[in-house]
Amino acid sequence: MPANEAVSVTEALHRRRSVRAFSDKPVDPAVLEAVFAAAQRAPSGGNLQPWQAVVLTGAPWQRVKDAVAARIALGREGYQPEYDIYPKGLTDPWESRRFGVGEALYASLGIPREDKKGRLAQFMDNYRGFGAPVMLFLHCSRIMGPPQWSDMGMWLQSVMLLLVEHGLASCPQECWAMYGVTIRETLDLGEDQILFTGLAIGHADEDAAVNQWPVPRVGLDEVIDWRGF
């Protein structure tokens, strides 16, 4: 989509998707600044605005990738999650939704279930930010609770929709939280901070199959309980 083309909120919602292949075209920092300035209008309980972000490109972004790669090389020993990315013992309907989207993603790339190596390689591409030239790490004070984490989510979605408006693409990536301590230390965030998620930002590789499959959603009957209408 051409940058600055007028786009409605509905259109931006439909156009946004998690992009998992980026071109190496650089991102204009002035555009990012406009996006973050507008995203400051995101609501938050008590107007706390608990979100904080580090935005990286070039050498500082490479330093994080290198530091995380060193942890990954340690295998399971290297994991440092500071929160549960999913609830322990996730049940249906949520487990099926999670499984379903993974299968659809691998199907788009023609990687069958038996191809464990292929699936792992695709997952590990997360730790290159799928080739994005810009990475945003979203964090907040460790004292914040579920309401403030939901505020971070509202800010994140605002950023993602604004990026669409500017012709950019993104992929939220909580997989980085598996190495949260390393990222905190590499970015000098301080122990009072907790990393929520990464957000890969760049121009989508429009030809990549991984950016083209239809991402399912459940019907309204599963989520909305109308009463008194």
- Binding residues for ligand FMN (CB under 6 A): 17-18, 20, 101, 126, 171-175, 197, 215
Taking CA atoms, 26 is separated from 109, 121, 133, 195, in Å, by 26, 25, 6, 25
Residue closer to ligand FMN by CB (options 32, 196) is: 196
How many CB atoms are located within 10 Å of the residue 2 CB? 5
For ligand FMN, which is the closer residue by CB, 165 or 174?
174
Q: Which is nearer to ligand FMN, 72 or 101 (CB)?
A: 101
Question: Least distance to ligand FMN from the beta carbon of 121, Å?
Answer: 13
CB of 101 to ligand FMN, least distance (A): 4
Contact in structure between 159 and 146 (CB atoms under 8 Å): no
Between 175 and 181, CB nearer to ligand FMN? 175
Smallest separation, CB 49 to ligand FMN (Å): 18
Closest approach of Cβ 173 to ligand FMN, in Å? 4
Residue 39 in contact with residue 158, Cβ under 8 Å? yes
- The dihedral through the CA atoms of 14, 7, 135, 35 has a sign that is negative
Q: How far is CA 111 from the centre of its chain?
A: 22
For residue 229, the minimal CB distance to ligand FMN (Å) is: 28
Cα–Cα distance list, 94 to 35, 75, 83, 99, 224 (Å): 32, 28, 18, 9, 16
How many alpha carbons lie under 13 Å from residue 154 in its C-beta half-sphere?
17
| Residue of 149, 201, 160 lying closest to 39 (CA atoms) | 160
Q: Which is nearer to ligand FMN, 29 or 52 (CB)?
A: 52
Closest chain position to ligand FMN (CB):
175
Cβ 199 to ligand FMN shortest distance, Å: 9
**Spatial CA neighbour of 172 closest among 157, 154, 184, 183:** 157
The CA distance from 70 to 75, in Å, is 10
C-beta of 186 vs 211, nearer to ligand FMN: 211
